């Protein structure tokens, strides 16, 4: 079976390994190299680096909308195109080129959390579970019929980065199951997505990272988890804007104004919220490294031991 793989970030790497395990991948599409790091030099995507390690040919078109891009894909004579967080839209003329169409590994239980940031939005919303879907692509945004799916609970303290890593491996597993069925001549049965329960996971924005202490502590704690490791939640604490890497919601009754430091000790810094309090356990000062709340209080004697 001739497979063309399209993906860009680290999330797609486990799926690439599964697709390439039997030597079926004839080409790997990934986005063009982008400036990165302090020097802003061009950097290859994680998928490109893995494809090169596996000895697979890499293609990096700016777009798949051109006649030349479609011609190049047709010449590869793909039986199937596997798309995992590629980042470029596939026009209808591209979707129809592979014999068995295009499959997509998506990190949610569709139709919930269609779109760019399903992992973070699931944590932010307080979902008890999420999962992955293997979907047959069509023109709409993550609206195609689901071929296979696998659910998994979201841990009470799980961050966006931790869940991202787990779902990347789970997605590769589901893709492997689908490929095994297709190779055996038993293509997975496509099941249309229900209209009920559809939601959109909009792209993460840096502006969302600022915590509003007027919100309930539970909501803020979920945001801290969801936005780790990027864009990282931040909030003003005793006059200083801090990046907050670890925090826990406390069901604490108080009459203080939101944003007030209630308690500051080795266990953390408790900040009053609209409901309850947020205990900050690890944080980062501007230009500094991630430290514990206890280490931070060594430099903020004005807060240490506050009641």
**Calpha distance 49→55 (Å, rounded):** 10
The helix (run of H) or strand (run of E) holding residue 101 is none
192 labeled binding residue = no
Residue pair 111/90 in contact by the 8 Å Cβ criterion: no
Residue 282, annotated as binding a ligand = no
Q: Is 241 annotated as a binding residue?
A: no
CA 77 to chain centre: 31
* CA proximity to 6, closest of 86, 60, 64, 63: 86
Counting runs of H as helices and runs of E as strands, what totals does the chain give?
8, 17
9 is in an annotated binding site: no
Q: Which residues contact 92 (CB under 8 A, 6 or more apart)?
A: 139
Q: Which residues contact 60 (CB under 8 A, 6 or more apart)?
A: 29, 30, 31, 32, 33, 48
Secondary structure class of 236 (helix, strand, coil): strand
Cβ contact 201:98 at 8 Å = no
Contact 9, 31 (CB under 8 A): no
d(CA 223, CA 128): 15
Contact 149, 118 (CB under 8 A): no
Q: How many C-beta atoms surround the C-beta of residue 205 within 10 A?
A: 9
Which residues are annotated as part of the binding site?
A: 108-111
Binding residues for (6S)-5,6,7,8-tetrahydrofolate: 108-111
């Amino acid at each position: 079976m001739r497979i063309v793989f399209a993906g860009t970030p680290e999330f797609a790497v486990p799926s690439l390994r599964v697709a390439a395990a039997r030597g079926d991948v004839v080409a790997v599409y990934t986005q063009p190299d982008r400036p990165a790091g302090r020097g802003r030099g061009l950097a290859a995507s994680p998928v490109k680096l893995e494809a090169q390690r596996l000895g697979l040919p890499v293609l990096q078109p700016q777009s798949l909308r051109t006649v030349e891009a479609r011609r190049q894909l047709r010449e590869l004579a793909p039986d199937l195109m596997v798309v995992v967080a590629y980042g470029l839209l596939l026009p209808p003329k591209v979707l129809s080129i592979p014999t068995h169409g295009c499959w997509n590994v998506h990190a949610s239980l569709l139709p919930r959390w269609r779109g760019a940031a399903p992992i973070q939005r699931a944590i932010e919303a307080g979902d008890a579970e999420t999962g992955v879907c293997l979907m047959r692509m069509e023109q709409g945004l993550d609206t195609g019929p689901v071929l296979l799916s696998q659910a998994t609970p979201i841990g009470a303290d799980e961050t966006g980065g931790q869940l991202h890593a787990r779902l990347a491996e789970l997605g590769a597993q589901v893709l492997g199951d689908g490929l095994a069925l297709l190779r055996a001549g038993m293509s997975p049965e496509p099941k249309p997505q229900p209209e009920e329960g559809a939601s959109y996971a909009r792209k993460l924005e840096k502006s969302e990272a600022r915590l509003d202490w007027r919100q309930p502590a539970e909501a803020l704690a979920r945001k801290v988890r969801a936005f780790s490791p990027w864009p990282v939640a931040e909030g003003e604490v005793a006059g200083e804007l801090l990046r907050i890497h670890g925090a826990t919601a406390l069901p604490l009754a108080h009459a203080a104004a939101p944003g007030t430091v209630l308690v500051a000790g080795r266990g953390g810094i408790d900040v009053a919220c609209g409901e309850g309090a947020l205990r900050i356990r690890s944080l980062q000062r501007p230009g500094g490294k991630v430290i514990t709340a206890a280490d931070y209080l060594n430099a903020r004697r004005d807060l240490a031991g506050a009641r």
